[in-house]
Amino acid sequence: MLRILVIEDSPINMVLMAAILEHAGHTMLKAETAGIGLEIARQHQPDLVLMDLQLPDIDGLAATRLLKADPKTRHIPVIALTAFAMQRDKDQTRAAGCDGYVAKPIRYKEFFAEVDRVLAESRPTVGKG
């Protein structure tokens, strides 16, 4: 079971994410703005952040840069959630520090495949070297 912080300003999308994550057995932390999300990330150290890119206070790319610049939160993987699905958009999310990218509307299988991939890549390997 993971603790996943969802930073999303759309109530409909938040309900959808809650249904998906809780059905899969995960605990969800919620933030409707980037500012609140950054504070929750610092305080609760979630296993993963799902970051909407269009937020009312700070855009999701800027918020991701802030998370990755903070020694307390830089280790937390971030997956961008966005309605924009062009290659340039994916490149911009990577450049901002996002570890993964999921296009909306969310497709259940593809979503969890990306979550699994990002978490596998973010965990340090034990006993290598």
As given in the structure block, the two tokens for residue 60 are 């999701």
| 79 close to 114: Cβ distance less than 8 angstroms | yes
For the chain, domain boundaries? 3-121
Q: Is the pLDDT of residue 128 over 50?
A: no
**The CATH homologous superfamily of the domain defined by 3-121:** Response regulator (3.40.50.2300)
Q: At what angle do helices 87-96 and 60-69 cross, to 10 degrees?
A: 30
127 vs 32: which has the higher pLDDT? 32
Mean pLDDT of 75-84: 92
Tell me the H-state helices in 26-86: 34-44, 60-69
- Encode burial over 65-76: b for 16+ CB neighbours within 10 A, e otherwise: bbbbeeeebeeb
Mean pLDDT of 36-58: 97
What lies within 8 Å, CB to CB, of 37 at 6+ separation is 5, 7, 31, 49, 51, 63
The pLDDT value recorded for residue 122 is: 87
What digits encode the pLDDT tens for the residues 4-19?
999 999 999 999 999 9
pTM for the full predicted model: 0.92
